[in-house]
Copies of this chain bind each other. A is one copy, B any other.
Amino acid sequence: MDNSFIYGKNAIIEALEAGNREFNRILISNTSRSDEKIEKIKELAKSKGIVFQFVGKEKLNQIAQDARHQGVVAQISPVQYIDLDEFIENNSGENTSVVVLDGVEDSHNLGAIIRSCVCAGVKGIILPSRRGVLVNSTVEKTSAGAVNHISIIKVNSIVNAIQRLKEKNYWVIAADNHCEDNYYDIDYTDMNFALVMGAEHAGISKSLIKLADFKVKIPMLTNFNSLNVSNATAIILFESVRQNVSKKRG
A146 close to B (CB within 8 Å) = yes
List of B residues within 8 angstroms of A245 by Cβ: 182, 219, 221
Please provide the chain A residues from 191 to 243 with a CB less than 8 Å away from any CB of chain B in the complex: 201, 218-222, 224-228, 230-235, 238-239, 241-242
Task: Specify which chain B residues have a CB less than 8 angstroms from the CB of A108 in the assembled complex.
Answer: 108
Of the stretches A23-31, A73-81, A111-119, the one at the interface is A111-119
Asked whether, in the complex, the Cβ of B230 is within 8 Å of the Cβ of A119, the reply is no
A4 at the A/B interface (Cβ < 8 Å)? no
Question: Contact check: which of B111, B115, B119, B222 meets A149 at CB < 8 Å?
Answer: B222
A120 proximal to B (CB < 8 A): yes
> How far apart are A31's CB and chain B's nearest CB, in angstroms?
20
Q: Is B220's CB under 8 angstroms from A112's CB?
A: no
Q: Bound state CA distance, A108 and B233, in angstroms?
A: 16
- Output the nearest chain B residue to A113 by Cβ-Cβ distance: B231
Q: Of the candidates B10, B111, B224, B228, which one forms a contact with A112 in the assembled complex, judged by CB atoms under 8 Å apart? A: B228
Q: Is the CB of B230 within 8 A of A230?
A: yes
Q: Tell me how far the C-beta of A217 lies from the nearest C-beta in chain B, rounded to whole angstroms.
A: 11
Could you say which of B184, B201, B231, B244 contacts A231, with CB atoms under 8 Å apart? B231
Give the distance in Å from the alpha carbon of A6 to the alpha carbon of B44 in the complex. 44
Q: Are A222 and B119 in contact (CB under 8 A)?
A: yes
Judge whether A132 is part of the interface by a CB distance below 8 angstroms.
no
**A89 is an interface residue with CB less than 8 A from chain B:** no
Residues on the B chain within 8 Å of A66, using CB: 66
A88-139 residues with Cβ-Cβ distance < 8 A to B are: 108, 111-112, 115-116, 118-121
Bound Cα distance A144, B228 (Å):
9
When distances are taken between beta carbons in the complex, the residues of chain B under 8 Å from A225 are 119
* A142 proximal to B (CB < 8 A): yes
Of all chain B residues, the one with the shortest Cβ separation from A246 is B184
In the complex formed, the residue of B with least CB distance to A239 is B242
Residue ranges of A at the interface with B (Cβ–Cβ < 8 Å): 10, 66, 108, 111-112, 115-116, 118-121, 142, 144, 146, 149, 182, 184, 201, 218-222, 224-228, 230-235, 238-239, 241-242, 244-246
